Amino acid sequence: MSIIGNLRYRPTSRSTSPKFKASDLTVVIPTTDIVPETFHRVVRSVLAHSVAKLVISTAGPKAEKDEGAFRFLFSDQRIVLLHREVASRREQTAHAMKYVDTPLLILQDDHTYWPNKNSFLQFTLAPFEEPSAGAVGVGLEARHRQHAFSLAGFWNFLGMIYLVRRHYEYCGTFGIDCGEYLNERVCFGLVGPLNVDDDKFHTRWLVEHDWNIKLQAGPETMMTTELGEWPKFNEQVSRWLGTSVRSNPRHLIHRKSWIRHPYTTWTLLVWFVRMSLVLEPLMFWLLHAVLKAHDQLQHFRVATVTLYAFITAMKFVKILAHFKKHPTDVVYFPGYVIYGYWCTPVKIWALLTWWNASWATAKAATSSTKVVDSPMMELCDTNATNTADAVTCIMGSSDRLGSCVRRRLERFVYKE
């Protein structure tokens, strides 16, 4: 089905007379460290476009001390630098909302780069020409660091492949029933407070209120991030799996999700049992049992090789796009298959530790800074009369939301 969905998928074409342009956008970046060169590259990639304003919401004593050095490097009048004592992504984001005075808002992750081409925003905002479009997901790829054959190169490969697989799966579901769950790193749409799991909550809210979610996954809207470093990547995988463990059950009991996007919702149910280290041995056991029941065990060896070749081929197809761009990385494919088996106990561990929902980078901001991670917060518009103008009330949390665009909320009440 994913193959069929990918063949059917088509992004929205850009309009010749668009409603929105770059000057209609305010960009908000919540972060805890404004010193790294990675963050500076992110800022430069945003300012290369004619956005109206870039609001950087920082937290912690270190970020406060580094403010002078940052302002020396970046004197662009479009930059607004804010600071809070407490590191909490959702509160830093809410703090920045009062500085938004444009029709659209982009919430930008602090390590996700914009492409340096004018067509990026033109294609990204194209779905908003439809009044029913409430959110737009875009493509994301990890930067290839061009390592020689090494462990560092392998981990970089795994980071890139994670995003390639997710891109493949999103296009597959969208191509079948136009269902697309806003991911943690990159999404454009109507959103609320940010900590772990907000992306899935936003999807439920949009579906419940009859908004359409669009997917712009073409080359024009492909963003770039840093991913695939040991041991950070393992920690990220564990956190992503935990997010799905907490969020997917909510989707499965969400009636409108089944009505509007049955196939996409079904894939979330299948996710819970998709464990290579469990399913593949079970498949071979069933194959043996069937052949034995029909007195055909003499064919078991050939059947086993055929079945494993089929399983491996399906894994290869999902990441074929990466090997087309970086053919030398095919040497890492056996390690990728083995790592897939390793993810089974990691997923089981995530099932057992589902309550861990913190923003890891905030915890690392400084040992002397208190980190707030309340389980549920609300961001409400106290004056909105219809959802076309604003979200009346959003509740939820998110971890690694890359980029979000949504229609501006006029007034906010932020409360626990």
* Strand 79-84 versus strand 53-59 pairing type: parallel
Tens digit of each residue's pLDDT (9 = 90 or more) over 29-47: 999 999 999 999 999 999 9
Instruction: Find out whether 359 and 88 touch, Cβ atoms under 8 Å.
Output: yes
pTM score, whole prediction: 0.77
Specify the pLDDT at position 204.
72
CA angle 56, 58, 64 (to 5 degrees): 120
All residue ranges of the chain with pLDDT < 70 are: 180-202, 355-416
Specify the pLDDT at position 201.
64
**CATH classification code of 2-273+353-415:** 3.90.550.10
Specify the pLDDT at position 356.
62
Tens digit of each residue's pLDDT (9 = 90 or more) over 140-185: 899 999 898 999 999 999 999 999 998 888 888 888 887 765 544 4
Specify the pLDDT at position 148.
87
CA angle 389, 207, 387 (to 5 degrees): 15
Closest listed residue to residue 164, CA positions, set 196, 138, 139: 139
Q: Which residues pair with 396 in a beta bridge?
A: 377
- Residue 6 to residue 140: CA distance in whole angstroms: 16
Specify the pLDDT at position 283.
96
Specify the pLDDT at position 254.
77
Look over the chain and give the mean of its residue pLDDT values, rounded to a whole number: 79
> Most distant CA pair in the chain: distance in Å?
79
Specify the pLDDT at position 151.
92
DSSP H or E segment with residue 154: helix 151-177
Q: Where are the alpha helices (DSSP H) in 98-191?
A: 119-124, 151-177
| Amino acid code (one letter) for 253 | I
| DSSP category for residue 400 | -
DSSP H or E segment with residue 262: helix 262-271
Instruction: Find out whether 364 and 61 touch, Cβ atoms under 8 Å.
Output: no
